[in-house]
Amino acid sequence: MTKKITVTDTILRDAHQSLLATRMRTEDMLPICDKLDKVGYWSLEVWGGATFDACVRFLKEDPWERLRKLKAALPNTRLQMLLRGQNLLGYRHYSDDVVRAFVAKAAVNGIDVFRIFDAMNDVRNLRVSIEAVKAAGKHAQGTICYTTSPVHTIDAFVTQAKVMADMGVDSIAIKDMAGLLTPYATGELVAALKDALPLEVVVHSHDTAGVASMCQLKAIENGADRIDTAISSMAWGTSHPGTESMVAALRGTPYDTGLDLELIQEIGLYFYAVRKKYHQFESEFTGVDTRVQVNQVPGGMISNLANQLKEQGALNRMDEVLAEIPKVRADLGYPPLVTPTSQIVGTQAFFNVLAGERYKTITNEVKLYLQGRYGRAPGQVDEKLRRQAIGSEDVIDVRPADLLKPELAKLRGEIGALAKSEEDVLTYAMFPDIGRKFLEEREAGTLTPETLLPIPSGNGVAAPGGEGVPTEFVIDVHGETYRVDITGVGIKGEGKRHFYLSIDGMPEEVVFEPLNEFVGGSGAGKRKQASAPGDVSTTMPGNIVDVLVKEGDAVKAGQAVLITEAMKMETEVQAPIAGTVKAVHVAKGDRVNPGEVLIEIA
């Protein structure tokens, strides 16, 4: 029997999301599209929540424009996206009219295949997007978020797949976002799914624990139809099995992919060079890490968590946070760890560790989760924790979006003339703060991508502009001598300064915020340390989202007085004592540090 295995390559989405914090720019994708289009992939994964977010937040690219350019450059290959069901690409449930509008626009702009998942595997949250994909005449792929727990049995996964099949999906994906699958478990699950359903089965498995290619082989032997891979120069580790490796492994067997290995190798060399450009985003956890088999933290989450911990000077607490994550997960009824539940569980674990006491601070997202507002938990949640978090408030048991009124018209009104198209409205809908900022900057003509650090080697390229005579240094680092020129220190808007740094002739623009101005502007670092019982402070560095009280207000102990944001999660900060607000030292948007007095109550 011969059965050709088809391939989805993740190089333009999940590979750089897993290894380079999702920072690859369109300019590095387009030059290789001609070759990618000739490979004969079943599809190329190109779009998802994190790619959209990174475009708008860091790269200052219009993600819709990227999609249209890729579509034009890849006319012969299906383009695929990852969609978070009723959450679309954002972090909350959207009303059904927004879901339908988003899917329709994604289809028009170039998406052919929608891989649709719900973080809780609550199929009620998939229904509307599946309907919308079918209405657009596109391929709907129903997704099982793979995880292990006492409630995640093979029978439970097969039941879920059958419900998705009844909803009209065209294929089933096993999404192993954390690299939790083991080869024999994969074989068993694939065989059970193929036995129960006439649909194609695709395996998406991260190689974090070093076993993903074995899982794919076992999947193939048990009837899987397709595998997700990544071009080898951006494969392995928290990414996927290398495309060339899998093509070579299956060549000349009944499962031959038929793909041109030499052509893929050329593409591999191209991305080898591209990866260097983004070296500053390389995760410190790129090798084989079997801890995932214990803590279940997905690859993307590890690299993002590490980046965020590093920013906050707390990378040394990583192991403690990884140990706390499975405990929080059990308390919440074993949700799979994938956006947004990975952030919800990860951030709560982080608070539990940093506060030195479990659930001393409970994030707003955990409260909403415990109210049922993300969907049905796979297992039992800890009732004591639920009562502590939500008090006497109701728990909902309907599909969360059933409680939402149509909101597209309202969103359109909110963003107003800044939106030049329905796509712009949807950008704002997905990411209200950074989406609005992006559209404002576009209007003002000030969109500027984040600066990349120089590649640490070079060969005499001239510095790009800059005024004045370069200041030259010769420095010795570990016995190597480097010639360093610095040119053109100047002001670059919003108190930022910049200069050109060239090491051995390799130039790079460096933009920085002088510390004194930063501190003066935000107030961070100037506030005194909390000491009185009525001093309100936080346990995490973060930003003030809202100030809920003003001077002179009477407050009760435990009343929410501030909302802060750290690591994309919002948290209420409560009054430590009852009394009167004597002073408020923060405003919306301020950056704050742990231990500072933000509000005084006496």
- 374 vs 580: CA distance, rounded Å: 36
Q: Are 489 and 466 in contact (CB under 8 A)?
A: no
Should residue 14 be labelled a site residue for Mn ion when binding is judged by CB under 5 A? yes
Q: Which stretch binds Mn ion (CB under 5 A): 38-46, 169-177, 399-407, 546-554?
A: 169-177
* CB 417 to Mn ion: min, Å: 37
| Nearest distance, CB of residue 237 and Mn ion, angstroms | 13
Q: Please report, to the nearest 10 degrees, the dihedral formed by the alpha carbons of residues 86, 430, 208, 569 taken in order.
A: -100
Binding part of the chain for Mn ion, among 125-133, 175-183, 213-221, 486-494 by CB under 5 A, reads: 175-183
Report the residue number, 293 or 559, with the smaller CB distance to Mn ion: 293
- Distance CA(156)–CA(174), nearest Å, equals 13
Minimum CB separation from Mn ion for residue 153, in Å? 23
Closest separation between CB of residue 392 and Mn ion, Å? 39
Closest to Mn ion by CB, 177 vs 321, is 177
Q: Judged by CB under 5 A, which stretch of 10-18, 157-165, 380-388, 544-552 contacts Mn ion?
A: 10-18
Q: What is the DSSP letter of 170?
A: S
Task: Write down the number of H helices and E strands in the chain.
Answer: 21, 20
d(CA 78, CA 201): 17
Q: DSSP letter at 532? A: S
| Smaller CB separation from Mn ion, 173 or 177 | 177
H or E element in which residue 565 lies: strand 560-566
Segment interacting with Mn ion, rule: CB under 5 A, options 172-180, 355-363, 371-379, 513-521 = 172-180
Report in angstroms how near the CB of residue 255 gets to Mn ion at its nearest: 23
Helices (H), 374-458: 383-390, 408-415, 422-430, 432-444
Task: Please report, as residue ranges, which positions from 364 to 423 form the binding site for Mn ion (by CB under 5 A).
Answer: none
Task: Kindly indicate which of the ranges 89-97, 177-185, 355-363, 460-468 contains the residues binding Mn ion, using the contact rule CB under 5 A.
Answer: 177-185
Compute the least distance from the CB of residue 209 to Mn ion, in Å.
Answer: 14
Residue of closest CB approach to Mn ion:
14
Closest CB to Mn ion among residues 289, 600: 289
Q: Shortest gap between Cβ of 542 and Mn ion (angstroms)?
A: 27
Tell me how far apart the terminal alpha carbons of the chain are, to the nearest angstrom.
80
Residue nearer to Mn ion on the CB measure, 299 or 333: 299
Report in angstroms how near the CB of residue 341 gets to Mn ion at its nearest. 14
Dihedral of CA atoms 267, 507, 492, 442 in degrees, nearest 10, equals -20
Q: How many CA atoms lie within 13 A of 473 on its CB side?
A: 9
Sheet holding 535-536, edge to edge: 535-536, 599-601, 579-584, 554-555
Contacting range for Mn ion; rule: CB under 5 A; set: 7-15, 42-50, 160-168, 549-557 = 7-15
Q: Which residues of 345-379 are buried (b: 16+ CB within 10 A; e: fewer)?
A: bbbbbbbbbbeeebbebbbbbbbbbbbbebbbbbe
Smallest distance, Å, CB 160 to Mn ion?
18
Give least dist CB 298 to Mn ion, A: 7
Q: Which is nearer to Mn ion, 9 or 600 (CB)?
A: 9
Q: Applying CB under 5 A, what is the total number of residues that bind Mn ion?
A: 2
Q: How many CB atoms lie within 10 A of CB 409?
A: 10
Nearest to 177 by CA among 210, 144, 224: 144
Which residue's CB is nearer to Mn ion, number 206 or number 367?
206
Applying CB under 5 A, the span of 170-178, 393-401, 478-486, 568-576 interacting with Mn ion comes to 170-178
Q: Among residues 14 and 590, whose Cβ is nearest to Mn ion?
A: 14
CB atoms inside a 10 Å sphere around CB 487:
21
- Of the ranges 13-21, 266-274, 275-283, 544-552, which one interacts with Mn ion (CB under 5 A)? 13-21
The contacts of residue 584 (CB under 8 Å, 6+ apart) are 547, 549, 550, 551, 598, 599
Residue among 286, 303, 205, 189 at smallest CA distance from 8: 205
Instruction: Using the structure block, give the residue that is written with the tokens 């048991």.
Output: 397
Shortest Å distance, C-beta 543 to Mn ion: 28
Distances from the Cα of 446 to the Cαs of 27, 272, 348, 496, in angstroms? 19, 32, 36, 14
Q: With respect to Mn ion, which residue has the nearer C-beta, 8 or 222?
A: 8
Closest to 543 (Cα-Cα) out of 522, 524, 566: 566
207: contact with Mn ion by CB under 5 A: no
- Please, which residue, 61 or 207, has the CB nearer to Mn ion? 207
DSSP letters, 366-394, are HHHHHTTBTB--SS---HHHHHHHHTTPP
Specify the residue, 179 or 326, whose C-beta has the smaller distance to Mn ion.
179
Identity of the residue, 14 or 509, whose beta carbon is nearer to Mn ion in the bound complex: 14
Q: How far is the CB of 181 from Mn ion (least distance, A)?
A: 12
Q: Which residues bind Mn ion (CB under 5 A)?
A: 14, 177
